[in-house]
């Protein structure tokens, strides 16, 4: 019994040292413990930042790199679907390609109609409500609204300096006297299979001669502005190259651009596309990088 009492009384001073905050040899006293890291911001707190970042990146991408356009006209059937009552295609238009090169025969391009082009293939109804107008404009900027009524999509047939006319004995368009090979042509039922003839036109330098794949239902260089030289489109009016069908999902595919001025039937040329979701995907690393930069700056200030 005495041994138990002595053993307990001998340990009490050691316990008291711990309670009094005196340092011990273990190095694990209260003063040596590292403070816990601050709790990171929750996902819901960062979600608005991610959304805003994604929207800003999307706007920048569509302004300088690529944009989604609605095809409401059936003049490019069946390469591109666009007609009353059908599910119109939405195509990704690459704006970078023609910063380093010029459009070439076979390219499907989106362009602003030049001044003589007064025959619009579609018309966008402007909402009378200013709030609805704002949201329609925002949707158009993000690639989900209707395109401008003066924007067109056609295929390049001839470029500046070339002579184009229609047609030879086999109903083919001629460029510099040579017949074109056009595997993309579509003859809409009820409109015949004979192309509308037109006299030889020399495409001015810096201009393009464009035509629709639905050859007998397309208001293009043959008729716009009365045809002839007025139908040619300045290269400066080209917005970009249609590269990929992004909607509807059942029609996800690249847009073939075979050169009609070649006689050999080859595979479609190399195609590329800028991901539509790049803005959303880039938002996360952008926000992460921003947080790292803020952290570096904060540490630098703390060390001063």
Q: What is the pLDDT of residues 18-37, one digit of tens each?
A: 444 444 545 455 555 555 55
pLDDT band at 263, cuts 50/70/90? low
Structure confidence at residue 67 (pLDDT): 82
Helix axes 43-64, 278-303, angle to 10 degrees: 120
Check if 154 is active-site.
Answer: yes
- Is it the case that residue 77 has pLDDT exceeding 80? yes
Q: Mean pLDDT, to the nearest integer, of 239-267?
A: 83
Structure confidence at residue 171 (pLDDT): 94
Cα 277 to the chain's mean position, in Å?
8
Structure confidence at residue 68 (pLDDT): 82
Structure confidence at residue 285 (pLDDT): 63
CA distances from 60 to 53, 55, 142, 176 (A): 11, 9, 10, 41
Lowest mean pLDDT among 59-73, 113-127, 145-159, 221-235: 113-127
Q: Is the CB of residue 260 less than 8 Å from the CB of residue 182? A: yes
Q: Which residue has the higher pLDDT, 137 or 283?
A: 137
* Contacts (Cβ under 8 Å, ≥6 apart) of 196: 166, 216, 222
Decide: helix, strand or coil at residue 128. coil
Task: Kindly state the tokens that stand for 144.
Answer: 């989900």
Q: Mean pLDDT, to the nearest integer, of 105-134?
A: 73
DSSP 8-state code for residue 122: -
If phi over 0 gives left and psi between -120 and 50 gives alpha, with beta otherwise, what is residue 226?
Answer: left
Check if 241 is active-site.
Answer: no
User: Pick the catalytic residue: 75, 140, 218, 221?
Assistant: 75
Q: Is the CB of residue 171 less than 8 Å from the CB of residue 195? A: yes
pTM of the model: 0.65
| Mean pLDDT of the chain, nearest integer | 75
CA distance 56 to 294: 20
166: part of which helix (H) or strand (E)? strand 163-166
CA atoms within 13 A on the CB side of 77: 19
Q: How many CB atoms lie within 10 A of CB 197?
A: 11
User: Pick the catalytic residue: 95, 154, 218, 221?
Assistant: 154
Structure confidence at residue 237 (pLDDT): 94
- Is it the case that residue 206 has pLDDT exceeding 60? yes
- Is it the case that residue 14 has pLDDT exceeding 50? no
């Amino acid at each position: 019994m005495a041994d138990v009492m002595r053993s307990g009384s001998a340990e009490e001073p050691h316990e008291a040292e711990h309670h009094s905050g005196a340092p011990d040899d273990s190095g694990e006293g209260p003063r040596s413990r590292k403070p816990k890291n601050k709790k990171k911001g929750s996902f819901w707190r960062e979600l608005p930042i991610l959304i805003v970042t994604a929207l800003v990146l999307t706007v920048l991408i569509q302004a300088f790199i690529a944009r989604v356009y609605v095809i409401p006209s059936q003049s490019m059937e069946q390469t591109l679907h666009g007609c009353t009552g059908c599910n119109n295609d939405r195509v990704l238009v690459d704006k970078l390609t023609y910063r380093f090169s010029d459009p070439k025969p076979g390219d499907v391009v989106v362009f602003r109609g030049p001044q003589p082009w007064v025959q619009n293939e579609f018309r966008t109804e402007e909402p009378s409500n200013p709030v609805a107008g704002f949201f329609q404009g925002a949707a158009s900027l993000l690639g989900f609204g209707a395109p401008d009524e003066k924007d067109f999509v056609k295929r390049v047939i001839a470029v500046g300096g070339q002579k184009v006319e229609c047609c030879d004995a086999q109903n083919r368009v001629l460029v510099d006297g040579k017949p074109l090979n056009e595997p993309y042509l579509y003859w809409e039922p009820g409109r015949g299979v004979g192309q509308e003839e037109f006299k030889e036109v020399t495409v001015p330098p810096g201009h393009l001669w464009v035509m629709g794949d639905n050859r007998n239902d397309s208001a293009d260089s043959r008729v716009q502005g009365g045809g002839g030289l007025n139908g040619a489109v300045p290269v400066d009016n080209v917005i970009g190259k249609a590269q990929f069908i992004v909607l509807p999902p059942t029609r996800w595919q690249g847009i073939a651009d075979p050169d009609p001025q070649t006689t050999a039937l080859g595979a479609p040329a190399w195609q590329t596309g800028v991901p539509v979701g790049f803005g959303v995907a880039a938002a996360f690393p952008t926000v992460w990088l921003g947080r790292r930069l803020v952290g570096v700056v904060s540490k630098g200030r703390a060390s001063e």
